[in-house]
Amino acid sequence: MTAVPLNETHDPARKSWVESANDPAGDFPIQNLPLGIFSCGSEDAPRPGIAIGDQILDLVEAHKLGLLPNSLPEEAVHSSSLNALISLGQPALSQLRRHVGEVLDAHQSGEGVRSHATRLLHEMSACKLHRPTSISNYTDFYAGIYHAIAAGAQLTPDDPLPTNYKWVPIAYHGRASSVQVSGAMVRRPLGQRPPKSRGEAPGFGPCERLDFELEIGFYVGTGNPQGTSVQIGSASKQIAGFSLLNDWSARDIQRWEMFPLGPFLSKSFATTVSPWIVTAEALLPFRVPALARRADEPNPLPYLFDSEDQESGAFDIGLRVLLSTEKMRERGDLAVEILNSNSRHLYWTPAQMVAHHTVNGCNLLPGDLIGTGTISGPTNAELGSMLELTVGGQQPINLPNGERRTFLLEGDEVTLQGRCERTGFASIGFGSCAATIVASP
Ligand code: CA
């Protein structure tokens, strides 16, 4: 673990006067302070907030009370998306984090601040959480090498890991309009299914192999002008923060449509993100070296290589996927964990993804969403999709109540969770990224 520029906002001893934030099992202690968009009640305008314990700090009210940095432009806070705020870049987000940390600190904040608690805080469970940014572009990478190997064995058995894989961070352009926030239903897509045998017509109807993909998403902060490239050494500064991302996938539609131009309708019907953006600064204590490459693997090309990125450009985020079926909920059974994984298994770092994405002069915009690709690990318990867990639908998974699944059925609720833990630091979490499957129209 290399030295990273930590500050008082990471101090594990720091406590908040918001009592629920001091629960060590919680996702949102004072060391986290993730950004989101929320509203309370149907008449209420969506606006920026920061999660603290089981509460949301209202940034509009905090701004009115003069509790935020003076340099923060009003339009960055009075907005229904985080685009203007995160476009200010990491130094501005860092300053905001310091100020909010002081406002919520049990020892630093005065009675004056706390007397405004009812104005500043809202019960998270009573609020609606919205998509955090207005997303102009969504790109999904394919940086989970264990997923690429396992999924490739199902989809392209003759060439499971493409020959370009260890040279090029592979990605496709996803659909920004159908990115939805945790809690929104996912409708089973209709589409063409592969012919049963060679020469026959394809089938058509509801997808029969509906799947999830466990991923991390990250949001672009300042962005870059068209015609310019973001250098690898500064690429991590382009990232405002991270969330969980479920890239819903219709495997039958995908298998039939994806050659030669990649996935299209098999992915574009829905992508679910968790509502909170955990800032790059909050994640500093959990940075780890990039995945080690074996001696027989190529070094990244110079535009993808930076020694600091190699030393600390990856992230140690523990990930899990929970499944709850309709029958389980009817009987009051808890959701069951069907896999766990970790973002350390990614072959490319987020900075490498940004450098690669822009090397041709492509412009990233504030609020753009970038997915890492499915994050599987090397063992059978760490496979990041049903496709892999069930070996292409051949080996169903058995649930504790006797139900079995190859792919997802109506009423199934899939929940992604992420949590960072390191000795000497406060644990932080991402909240939930959950959605339930409903039938095709
Ligand atoms: Ca994906």
Catalytic residue of the set 63, 130, 147, 356: 147
**CA 373 to centroid of ligand 1, rounded, Å:** 4
**CA 371 to centroid of ligand 1, rounded, Å:** 7
147 is catalytic: yes
**CA 386 to centroid of ligand 1, rounded, Å:** 13
Nearest to 323 by CA among 311, 308, 307, 334: 334
Q: Computed over its alpha carbons, how large is the radius of gyration of the chain?
A: 22
Q: pTM of the full predicted structure? A: 0.97
For the chain, 441 residues long, the average pLDDT of each consecutive 10-residue run is 76 97 98 98 93 98 96 96 98 97 91 92 98 98 96 83 95 98 98 95 98 98 98 98 98 95 96 98 98 95 98 98 98 98 98 98 98 96 94 96 98 98 98 98 84
The token duo for 26 is 């919680």
Query: Do residues 78 and 90 touch, judged by C-beta distance below 8 A?
Result: no
Query: Tell me, what's the pLDDT at 153?
Result: 87
Cis ω before 260 (30° cut-off from 0): yes
Residue appearing with tokens 């070296």: 289
Helix segments in 87-144, DSSP class H: 90-104, 111-114, 117-120
Neighbours of 290 (CB within 10 A): 21
**CA 395 to centroid of ligand 1, rounded, Å:** 22
**CA 271 to centroid of ligand 1, rounded, Å:** 9
Q: Which CATH superfamily is domain 8-130 in?
A: Fumarylacetoacetase, N-terminal domain (2.30.30.230)
**CA 329 to centroid of ligand 1, rounded, Å:** 28
Q: Which amino acid is at 156?
A: T
Collapsing DSSP states into helix, strand and coil, what is residue 334?
Answer: coil
Q: What residues does CATH 2.30.30.230 cover in the chain?
A: 8-130
Go through the chain and tell me how many residues it has: 441
Strands 369-371, 138-141: parallel, antiparallel or unpaired by DSSP? parallel
Q: Which helix (H) or strand (E) holds 115?
A: none
CATH number 3.90.850.10 given to 138-315+342-387: yes
Q: What residues does CATH 3.90.850.10 cover in the chain?
A: 138-315+342-387
Query: Do residues 45 and 56 touch, judged by C-beta distance below 8 A?
Result: no
Query: Do residues 77 and 85 touch, judged by C-beta distance below 8 A?
Result: yes
Report the alpha-carbon distance of residue 373 to residue 288 in Å, rounded.
19
Report the alpha-carbon distance of residue 427 to residue 24 in Å, rounded.
7
**CA 236 to centroid of ligand 1, rounded, Å:** 21
Helix segments in 258-359, DSSP class H: 307-312, 326-330, 350-358
**CA 105 to centroid of ligand 1, rounded, Å:** 39
Phi, psi of 148 (to 5 degrees): -60, -40
**CA 245 to centroid of ligand 1, rounded, Å:** 9
- In Å, what is the CA distance from 48 to each residue of 77, 84, 137, 202, 277? 6, 11, 21, 47, 11
**CA 361 to centroid of ligand 1, rounded, Å:** 24
Collapsing DSSP states into helix, strand and coil, what is residue 149?
Answer: helix
Nearest to 280 by CA among 231, 222, 225, 319: 222
**CA 140 to centroid of ligand 1, rounded, Å:** 6
**CA 44 to centroid of ligand 1, rounded, Å:** 34
Nearest to 25 by CA among 433, 426, 432: 426
Collapsing DSSP states into helix, strand and coil, what is residue 106?
Answer: coil
**CA 423 to centroid of ligand 1, rounded, Å:** 31
Collapsing DSSP states into helix, strand and coil, what is residue 333?
Answer: coil
Query: Tell me, what's the pLDDT at 2?
Result: 45
DSSP state of 399: P
For the chain, the distance separating the N- and C-terminal CA atoms, rounded to the nearest angstrom, is 51
Report the alpha-carbon distance of residue 283 to residue 54 in Å, rounded.
20
Report the alpha-carbon distance of residue 155 to residue 389 in Å, rounded.
14
Furthest CA-CA distance within the chain: 76
